[in-house]
Amino acid sequence: MTDPVVGRVLEGRYRLEERLARGGMSTVYAATDLRLHRTVAVKIMADHLVHDPTFVDRFTREARAAAMLSHPNVVSVSDQGSDQGLVFLVMELVRGRTLRDLLHARGRLTVGEAFAVLEPVLAGLTAAHRAGIVHRDIKPENVLIGVDGVVKVADFGLARAVVGTGQTSQTGGVLIGTVAYLSPEQLERGRADARSDIYAAGIVLYEMLTGHPPYGGDTPLAVAYQHVHHDVPLPSAEVPGIAWQVDELVARTTRRDPAGRPVDAGAFLAELADLRKDLGIEPVPVPTGRSTAGPGTLRPTNRPTRPRHPSDPMTEVLDNQSDRAGRTSMLPGMGAGPTTHVGGRRPAPERPRPGVPQHIRRRRARLAFALVLLLAVTIGAIGWWLGSGRWTTVPEVIGKPQDSAITLIEGAGLSADCCTQQWSEKVPAGQVISTQPGAGEAIRGSNVRLIVSKGPERFRVDAALLNQPENAVTAKLQETLPEIQFTSEQRYSNEVKAGLVIQFVPPAGTDLKRGQVVTMLVSKGHEPVAIPDVTGQKLEQATDNLKKLGFAVNRVPDGRSAAVGKGLVMATSPAASAGAVPFGSTVSVQLSAGVPQVKVPDVTGMSAADAAAVLTKAGLKVEATRFFGDNVRQQTPRAGKVVDTGTTVRILVSF
């Protein structure tokens, strides 16, 4: 049955030539861009989605976002629109096969081959994640491998267009996506972010290494249950000999908790590069299947092919199936083959018939002459074209906006290969830095590669890292900003606890150049505090003064002091003379119980002068009562009694 859409021209520009593939959400056609004379792929949304205004609105927004992606490992989106009741998306047409076709042909890949395929997939996802786009449907069918070995990721933004603001990818209650690759959070909560793409990429890595997805089941619900409730098995359990580090990478990227996975594709790619270096895995070409798979294992991609009949030589019908248009799936890269009738029989060669009338012979002669003349003109034109007609001078487009540059190049009869983006300190974003070949060079119909500025390369430190532990901040900066050099300094801070980051110099949020040095100031805690002199103060007043400065107060047994009155602070430990001590230190406080006390010495029998000297030396006062003589006969207080310093001792002096 003929596809009724084939032959239509959308928006007066895209003529649909052939249906390539059909899925639950859309159908892909090969089409001719009548304006630029090139072949493109046009994806037309399914009817049940076209009639949903919410979907169409979201699809339009996401298609525009996907069109902003420009990366060699992403299938580029060039246009989007609606015409004749059809909502469509115009994309780059990739000539090659899908990763699914390659796995069908090869069974499984070596570790080196799996890395060679996964690295460009992650590179394309990195560009998307940095642009704020989540793919949501990473699977082998959406990984295209060109005949030249270039890997591209297809269908960016389409799954997200269905979900809108991060809710479940559903339309009419049906989860959109391939359940074998959906993350647990998509299946349970309908939410997805960059880490959901990491999960799917980890599942794809597992499948490349083992030849099949980790989970199987009779129903999608059974497969989904295993994703949610089981850890992905180790590839080495299926294929002995796989290094344990590869097992760990698969386990880390497919953890059921998103927080345990790499934060985005860039982090996954960095881990993959480190693992390649650690294991000493040399780079190998991306497997295309052309060198190892026989003709019977090749599968078609979204490149349009010319249909053949099963009886045509060099033709093999895959799985003995035909599409709904009655065409068989053909092997890519083969010629059209001999001409056949619809029924598969070759026409019999024409033989001259006897007795041809004269007027027919003259007509044939005139036709032959016209053909010879046409051939001569054609050969002359081809000779001119091969000699000088194909040479075209590349126009000067440096410094011009990207769209203007493309217009000038196409106006010169050349094709613009757009675009390689580079950082530039001199050329504003969106303007052309250079071209390959350069301006003024004469080329023969080649593409002109445009190098377009992304503007100055700048990086920013996240202000959320302030007041975080130094070790955690250092690890985060090494992971997210390897382009910036960081040093650290210790500073006292009366507000930030020791070990936490106080600030960055330059401040967080400042635009930084690659290689710029940023100093991270880390708190040493509160600065030391000088102990105040609280001697002579009452206990309550001294305690309050010390606690206001952050000290802890400890009272020790009372002492005695001749200088400080009873009940007042006579000393602290450390003393005020010790200077500054760590904040929060404990200060011991000692109160005075009065003046010092002494034991009264025994001076009986001594001369009055000697007794007075002994008592004075002991800190006592002397009051003598004299009779005849010079010897001390009696003393009050008596000898051995403990009295306050300065107490008066009365002595009786006589014979």
149-197 pLDDT, tens digit each? 999 998 875 545 434 333 333 434 444 557 899 999 998 888 889 999 9
Q: Are 199 and 183 in contact (CB under 8 A)?
A: yes
Q: Are 132 and 66 in contact (CB under 8 A)?
A: no
Q: What is the mean pLDDT of the chain?
A: 81
Q: Are 94 and 144 in contact (CB under 8 A)?
A: yes
Q: Are 111 and 243 in contact (CB under 8 A)?
A: yes
Report how far residue 215's alpha carbon sits from residue 227's, in angstroms, rounded to the nearest whole number.
8
Q: Which of 387-401, 485-499, 565-579, 594-608 has the lowest mean pLDDT?
A: 387-401
Q: Are 612 and 624 in contact (CB under 8 A)?
A: yes
Report how far residue 453's alpha carbon sits from residue 430's, in angstroms, rounded to the nearest whole number.
5
User: pLDDT by residue (tens digit) across 522-581?
Assistant: 999 999 999 999 999 999 999 999 999 999 999 999 888 888 888 899 999 999 888 899
* Percent of the residues in the chain that have a pLDDT greater than 90, as a whole number: 48
User: pLDDT by residue (tens digit) across 84-127?
Assistant: 989 999 999 988 899 999 999 999 999 999 999 999 999 999 99
Cα 200 from chain centre: 15
Pairing mode, if any, of strands 517-523 and 485-491?
Answer: parallel
pLDDT at 389 over 60: no
In CATH terms, the fold of domain 597-654 is: Trypsin Inhibitor V; Chain A (3.30.10)
CA–CA distances in Å: residue 168 to residues 177, 257, 453:
11, 18, 37
pLDDT score, position 363: 62
pLDDT score, position 290: 58
CA–CA distances in Å: residue 294 to residues 290, 298, 300, 316, 336:
8, 7, 14, 12, 19
Cα 166 from chain centre: 18
Helix (H, G, I), strand (E, B) or coil at 607: strand
* Three-state SS sequence of 268-294: HHHHHHHHHHHHCCCCCCCCCCCCCCC
User: pLDDT by residue (tens digit) across 3-18?
Assistant: 889 999 999 999 999 9
480: left (phi > 0), else alpha (psi -120 to 50), else beta? alpha
What mean pLDDT is predicted for residues 61-87? 85
pLDDT score, position 169: 39
Which class is 463-523 in CATH?
A: alpha beta
Cα 233 from chain centre: 25
Helical ranges in 501-635 per DSSP H: 539-548, 608-617
Report how far residue 81's alpha carbon sits from residue 64's, in angstroms, rounded to the nearest whole number.
10
CA–CA distances in Å: residue 439 to residues 169, 335, 432, 434, 445:
48, 38, 12, 8, 15
Name the token pair of 87.
């909502």
Report how far residue 314's alpha carbon sits from residue 308's, in angstroms, rounded to the nearest whole number.
10
Q: Which of 89-98, 379-388, 495-504 has the lowest mean pLDDT?
A: 379-388
Report how far residue 5's alpha carbon sits from residue 551's, in angstroms, rounded to the nearest whole number.
85
Which class is 529-592 in CATH?
A: alpha beta
pLDDT at 333 over 70: no
Phi, psi dihedral angles at 604 (to 5 degrees)? -60, 140
For residues 308 and 224, which has the higher predicted lDDT (pLDDT)?
224
Q: Which of 143-147, 269-273, 418-422, 437-441 has the lowest mean pLDDT?
A: 437-441
pLDDT at 521 over 80: yes
* Percent of the residues in the chain that have a pLDDT greater than 70, as a whole number: 81
pTM, full prediction = 0.46
Helix (H, G, I), strand (E, B) or coil at 230: coil
**pLDDT category of residue 62 using cuts at 50, 70 and 90:** low
137 is catalytic: yes
**pLDDT category of residue 63 using cuts at 50, 70 and 90:** confident
* Three-state SS sequence of 567-584: CEEEEEECCHHHCEECCC
User: pLDDT by residue (tens digit) across 596-615?
Assistant: 989 999 999 899 899 899 99
Q: Are 632 and 651 in contact (CB under 8 A)?
A: yes
CATH superfamily of this structure's domain 96-279: Transferase(Phosphotransferase) domain 1 (1.10.510.10)
pLDDT score, position 382: 64
pLDDT at 258 over 70: yes
pLDDT at 388 over 80: no
- Please indicate whether the domains covering 96-279 and 597-654 agree at the CATH topology level: no
CA–CA distances in Å: residue 366 to residues 352, 355, 371, 379, 427:
18, 19, 9, 20, 64
How many C-beta atoms lie closer than 10 Å to residue 255's C-beta?
A: 19
Rg (CA), the chain: 46
The active-site residue out of 101, 137, 155, 197 is 137
Look up the CATH number of domain 9-91: 3.30.200.20
DSSP 213: -
Report how far residue 543's alpha carbon sits from residue 551's, in angstroms, rounded to the nearest whole number.
9
Give domain limits for the chain: 9-91, 96-279, 463-523, 529-592, 597-654
